[in-house]
Chains A and B, each alone.
Chain A
Amino acid sequence: MATLINEALVSDLEVLRKKIAIRKIQGWSIIVAGVIIIVVASMFEQPIIAIIGALSLIPGIVILIKIGSETTVYKNRFKNEIIGATLSNIDPSLTLAPTNGIQEEEFIYTQLFTKEPDSYKTEDLISGKHDKTSFYFAEVHAQYKTQSQTKNGTKTEWHDIFKGIIFSADFNKHFNGTTVIRPKDLSSSIGAWFSKNIFSFGDKDLIELESEYFNKNFVTYSTDQVEGRYILTPAMMEKIAELNERSHYSISLSFINANMYIAFPLDQNYFEAPIFSSLLRPDFLSDDIAILQFMFNIATELDLNTRIWTKQ
């Protein structure tokens, strides 16, 4: 697919990338050399040499500041022109809004996660339509913090709630309640055991489904037991299981207010311009294309274009 992108554009951006990479290396080399001079001079009690070392930091910082604005231009052009062209190659309906994302309110509203974030970042909102199914997805990084008292004061630690892509699509059936599917962990397994065995202490919204795979890997909740099963037909459960198997980490899903949401935890930050690796490599976009194609195909994977029910 990379070959379908305008070669002149790639060459143009590659020139800019090389310039930025060289300047960054120059800037950081000067700074590192300056720091070494300061440290060594301090060890041998040579204040004049230490001052020279400190002064030598200035050109390094100036180089990095000057290249900063060009880096922003390069990154924006990469997203708008390279990723934009890649999206058009996959499907003309796909659009990218690099600075937009899935807002924190919507993230909480999806009920995909039980914790509310203390720090929330989102970017690269991609929207489109696959046949009859409208969808959008964006990168999200949500964290919560814990604070503990130590002898040196309060220690704050940050923990990931989620890092990856949240996908949302218009679901092909009408429903009124909320159905949530989360990966099975220790606390949800204990909750499920209580619900199954000692009902009075358990969660009334828990659904015990027929699929062995589902009960082994997920905990499913629904505000309406019949509606939950109406959404999660045996065929749909099979498809979700296949999707989960193809994902590196276990996915979470929710069905709320006519939409379905899927959270795909990922390690990588996608759609970012490389600085220290060449744009001329034939595979420089392969990871981005693979993830875009994967997201675009969800509608067919989950059969969301089958509109044989009253919702069209």
Chain B
Amino acid sequence: MIIVSIIAIAVLIFGISIYNSLISKKNQVTNAFSAIDVMLKKRFDLLPNLVEIAKQYMAYEEHTLTNITALRTKALDPNATEGDKLSLDQQISTAVSGLMVSVENYPDLKANDNFLNLQRTWTESEEQIAAARRNYNATVTSYNNAVMMFPSNMFAGMLGYVPVSVLATTDEERKNISAKDLFNK
């Protein structure tokens, strides 16, 4: 009788542990996405200053600067979904990368301390977003494993949990950051 009770208690503790683990993994996925969101917001906040400084020097890049401002406005729209924000971030990254290449033609801007500082902060935010995306993917993989593997898949079925897609790897995550490329020195 005692042995049966011990086994029953052990099974109960094991079941509770798996159940809690599943809920915790699900919450971690949400938190991991929030971390990306915070980083994106931080990056979008850099854009007005970047555009403002660039405008003073880059007379021929009017179109790119207007495009960046328009993309930022869309990204900060309260109705924008997480998917929209990620897609807009990609477009902003491409536009800003193009802008950074054009800086070569504007030696005064290249020498501006405020611009250099913004350029560093931008690079930093790019790596922080890449880290947040990698964290999201690791969290999703761990959650998906729990949803699909026995015995936690039984609880996942009861809770209606389904696997979540990982984010595609961006170029920034794949390539090694090169100071030479970024600063064209």
Contacts and interface: CB of A to CB of B under 8 A. Distances in A.
Interface of A: 173-174, 196, 198-201, 207-210, 225-230, 233-235, 306-310
B162 to A, nearest CB: 19
Contact of A226 (B21, B128, B177): B128
Contacts of B134: 210, 229
Given A210-B134, A233-B177, A310 B121 contact: yes
Interface in B98-155: 117, 120-121, 123-124, 127-128, 130-132, 134-135, 138-139, 141-142
B173 A234 contact: yes
24 contacts: A173-B124, A174-B124, A199-B20, A199-B25, A200-B17, A200-B24, A209-B138, A225-B32, A226-B39, A226-B131, A229-B132, A229-B135, A230-B128, A233-B127, A233-B131, A233-B176, A233-B177, A235-B176, A235-B177, A306-B177, A306-B179, A308-B123, A309-B124, A309-B127
A201 B135 contact: no
Interface in B12-31: 17-18, 20-21, 24-25
B117 A310 contact: yes
Contact of A198 (B21, B123, B124, B177): B21
A225 B17 contact: no
Contacts of A208: 138, 141-142
Contacts of A230: 127-128, 131
A207 B10 CA distance: 28
Contacts of B132: 226, 229
Most central of B24, B39, B176 by chain A CB within 10 Å: B176
A173 B139 CA distance: 24
A208 B144 CA distance: 14
Closest 3 A/B residue pairs (Cβ) = A230-B131, A199-B21, A229-B131
Given A201-B17, A210-B134, A226 B35 contact: yes
A306 to B, nearest CB: 5
Given A306-B179, A308-B183, A199 B130 contact: no
A103 to B, nearest CB: 32
Nearest to B175: A235
Contacts of A173: 124, 127
B76 interface: no
Nearest to A238: B176
Most central of B20, B32, B134, B139 by chain A CB within 10 Å: B134
Given A198-B18, A234-B176, A310-B121, 16 more contacts: A199-B21, A200-B17, A200-B20, A200-B24, A208-B142, A210-B134, A210-B138, A227-B131, A229-B131, A230-B128, A233-B127, A233-B177, A234-B173, A235-B177, A308-B177, A309-B127
A176 to B, nearest CB: 12
B24 A199 contact: yes
Contacts of A201: 17
A308 B54 CA distance: 19
Nearest to A225: B135
Contacts of A229: 131-132, 134-135, 138
B176 A310 contact: no
Contacts of B174: 234
Contacts of B176: 233-235
Given A198-B21, A306-B179, A309-B120, A233 B142 contact: no
A71 B127 CA distance: 55
B11 interface: no
Most central of B132, B141, B174 by chain A CB within 10 Å: B132
